Structure 1
Amino acid sequence: MLEDMRYKKLNIFLEKFIYSLIVLNVVCLILESFKVLRIDHQNLFETIEIFSIGVFTVEFFVRLIIAEKQENKSWRTYFFSGYGLLDLLSILPFYLPLIFPFDLRMLRVLRLLRIVRIFKLGRYSKSFKTINLILKETKPELLITAFIAFILIILSSTFIFYAENEAQPDKFSSIIEALWWSLGTLTTVGADVSPITPLGKFLSALIGVIGIGFVALPTGIISSALIDKVKQDRENCHECPHCGLRAKED
């Protein structure tokens, strides 16, 4: 029992440590975008990067070993899983330039890949796990929404092309060119070109109204699933009569 408690405390400590290290890496990545900070504190950033890579590399190989020792599983189970590939992507940008000679542009791309480390938080954050679970549960509904969105984008791009092509051939030269306008209008972000024909203006207003529902549909699906999940968690919890804390029922 005592050994289990010690193991649990060690596990909690390691999770919090890696969680904090991931957050620190994201903060450093943001701060490095400032030229003054990047030059003045280059040694500090490099030290944090090397230390982080060491920790993430050890974590990656430890998880490979643990996966190999688990019953009915192998290292491939973890390696090709979502988290396994994510852990690999988190350390590859550091090791690849040591093996292969890359030009400056490719090195910048590899450094940019460090941002994927933020997704490692999903393993240690309850909020990320909840969001991931909700997205999995609402996958069929979201796929239907995505299909409807695809149809709407194609239709609106086609209609606006035929309505505006003669009046603005340079801005609506093809249906592909009209796709950008369609995306901007449907998502209510706004496009950099505007229809000038009466039919084009009518279509723009109509698509703008449809776009409100287009944005609200997936938002409503996810919000509803989130509310249901919170209610379910509360129903599965009981309150301690002595301390007032809530805990999940076994």
Structure 2
Amino acid sequence: MRSLILIFFFALSLAAHAAETIKIKASDGVEVTVDLHISHPDTVPFIVLFHQAGWSRGEYQEIAPILNQLGFNCMAVDQRSGKAVNNVENQTFVSARQLMKETKYVNALPDMNAAITHAKTYLAKGDLIIWGSSYSSALVLKIAGDRADEINGVLAFSPGEYFQSMGKPKDYITSSAKSIQCPSFITSARGEQSSWWSIYEAIPTETKSYYLPESSGNHGSRALWSKFSDHRGYWDAVTTFLSQYL
């Protein structure tokens, strides 16, 4: 695991990092826009990054280059449930609306599965890790259980059972989490633990871990943004978890 001193040094140079933007087709024809942050051979571990509600792949502008410096290749994905963040518009949302598709949280699953399949097929010969934020952090836990033979790691930032209002059962995520086989990591703001603890308890492996900050913390992956004074604690926990893949 590399020193956090190096991580935050490189965070100061993010403006120089250029991502390649491509489009992938979801199973229902929606065009899924993704940013590829690839700095290494395709044999290194690969992380697929999913954003929180109302946002876009721009959530990972600062995070993905740091993950590159740690030794990972990454893909940041626009899901159809979201709009914009950090001046990055969600193009998958635009495509879904043009095709008159629903854009609720649960409707993002085809986009997420398409991105994972694309990464597995064309970009990642090594371990495949999935990472979610808020509603997508719940969905990556579901996917990690439903596609257990394909997923080598999962990180969830502020998950919960968010889908009852969309017609899903109250244990929609927990029921899939029971089938997770890979190492798993959950974190959130300090006051959010009750939203995900039952999901965490359902994960059957001994390779699961979680982190709660001493401070109030932040919701979703933005907890890692350098603008927040407690971001280093989150990074310490994340890099400790990810070190097992390097």
TM-score by length of 1: 0.22
Bigger Cα Rg: 1
- Structure with the higher strand share, 1 or 2: 2
TM-score by length of 2: 0.22
Higher relative contact order (CA 8 A, sep 6+): 2
- Structure with the higher helix share, 1 or 2: 1
